[in-house]
Amino acid sequence: MSGHNLENIGYGQSNSSYAITTVKVDNIDAVGKRKSSYYLGVGSGRVSDQMRRNFSLAELNLWMQDVAEVIQKPPASRSNLLRSYAKAIKSRPVAAPVSALLDLSDFLHPINLSYDGKQVGVENSFIYAQYQNGFEFVDGAPELKFDLKFDEEERPFLCCEVDVSYDLGRDVIPGVKQQGRFVDLLNKNGRLKLLYKDGTSYVNGHFYQVMLPTEKGFELNKSKLGGSLIPVTELLAANLSEKEEHAVSADEFGRNSIFFLIDKLKAVGVQGSTIPEFGPFFTHIANLDIMLCSDMGTEPADFILSSPDKLVFVHVKCGGAENRPESSAGALAEVGGQAIKNLEILTTTQRDLKPGNWSIMPSHWPRPASAPALNERIRLVDGKRFVNVGRTKAAREEKLVDIWDTIAERRAAPNVGKEIWMVVGNAFSRQHFENQLRKGREAASESLQAFQLIDSWQSAAASNDVVLKIFVSP
């Protein structure tokens, strides 16, 4: 690992599964020259002076006293990079988790549940839940509390006092039974992620612990994470919604929707348009020449944007806190989980890999038979508006083949930057998040959980050479 400033390398969560063995430390004086230099054996405790080699007995005694003083009263590390390293831990935390993230996004439809003669459904998405003597994963069914237990090997599993069965209906998922006990479904295939207040997390069958950079306070604006969290004034507004499907017209999304704000980018294809008409995201992608609404079904993203040197998958979420949004993990959990899960289709070099909802791309939005409906999902092609005079499906299919060929070519090209955009309205405030992180240990629990999630997503994206940008309320 090398770089001008390693503190700005975003691998915090992925580092937590490794341990540092040796560190080389140079102490620099006021004029930038090395004053002293050491190799430190982190596991062995070995200290090797790299600048002084010949000691008299008295000098050696003073040197050892200096080393002993530092070891016995070590200063708190201010390096986020060094503090991000930790080994996987074998023993489970004593305290209860503060929240969980449940991944049901691989199912094509909501899952039907039955218990005590009742029928309910659970969403086929990422479900975030706080721990309050158990988790409530099913909206409208507070009696379904899923408690956390541990087996003989200290692995957590979910249980429920109520006997709940599931039915996948039309869904056929490899390795998953069509019907069965709901808790059995939840406890398989690494669907559960747990977050603890001390920075411990449980994912893919293992506990990990990393010292949170927030423990003694954290300056968001001086970190790489701060550069990923971008405030947008338009993402805090009364009556703002995600899609506003009922208000869509032939060529416009509902004007009170985040989809409308993103779709303003299509104005770059209209001669004579002015910069204000391009919307709030224009400065984040220059030379935009492809814009596709890929929403609905098994979608790769809500929008795909591209220029000759950039490919962007955009994921959208809107909450209801239009007056005073805070900075809870729940506001980001679903959209972030879905965005990271779709990393493969953003980065693969397989030209023939198309999204799962490819068959509906030539149809109207939001659904083929919707009324009202947006006529064209192709918002820009070759830097211009797509003109489909006869509004024919054949014209769309032909143009979509060209568009996807260009996307496949660009995603395979190493010189084309890949980005994930998470656009979150009326749900998460950057200022609130910044203020909370400054409090260190006293920060709101949900803000610390949000930090853990963002850091883990940033690590996953960086490991795939993808830049993560999260657009939120100011």
- What does the DSSP assignment read for 311-326? EEEEEEEE-S--S---
Pairing mode of beta strands 290-293, 378-380: antiparallel
The Cα-based distances of 296 to 103, 394, 428 in angstroms read: 18, 20, 24
Separation CA 392–CA 270 (nearest Å)? 22
Spatial CA neighbour of 411 closest among 288, 313, 339, 316: 313
Spatial CA neighbour of 164 closest among 187, 150, 144: 144
- What does the DSSP assignment read for 211-274? --GGGG---GGGSHHHHHEEE-GGGS-TT-BS--GGG--SS---TTBHHHHHHGGGGGGSTT--
Separation CA 326–CA 15 (nearest Å)? 28
Separation CA 11–CA 258 (nearest Å)? 30
Alpha-helical segments (H) within 272-367? 330-341, 343-347
- The amino acid at residue 395 is A
- Left (φ > 0), alpha (ψ -120 to 50) or beta: where does 296 sit? left
Tokens 């050892």 found at: 64
Per-residue pLDDT of the chain (474 residues; tens, 9 = 90+): 555 566 665 555 556 545 566 777 777 877 878 878 877 776 566 777 777 777 888 888 888 888 887 777 666 565 666 666 655 566 678 888 999 989 888 888 889 999 999 999 998 888 999 998 899 999 888 899 999 888 888 888 899 999 999 998 888 888 888 999 999 999 887 788 888 887 788 887 778 766 665 566 778 888 878 889 999 999 999 999 999 999 999 999 999 999 999 999 999 999 999 999 999 999 999 999 999 999 998 899 999 999 999 999 999 999 988 778 899 888 999 899 899 989 999 999 998 899 989 999 999 999 988 889 999 999 999 999 999 988 899 999 999 999 999 999 999 999 999 999 999 999 999 999 999 988 887 888 888 889 888 988 888 888 889 999 999 999
Separation CA 187–CA 342 (nearest Å)? 22
Separation CA 170–CA 109 (nearest Å)? 8
Separation CA 407–CA 411 (nearest Å)? 6
Residue 471: strand pairing partners: 230, 423
pLDDT tens readout for residues 209-241: 666 655 667 788 888 788 899 999 999 999 999
Spatial CA neighbour of 254 closest among 240, 265, 243: 243
Separation CA 220–CA 222 (nearest Å)? 5
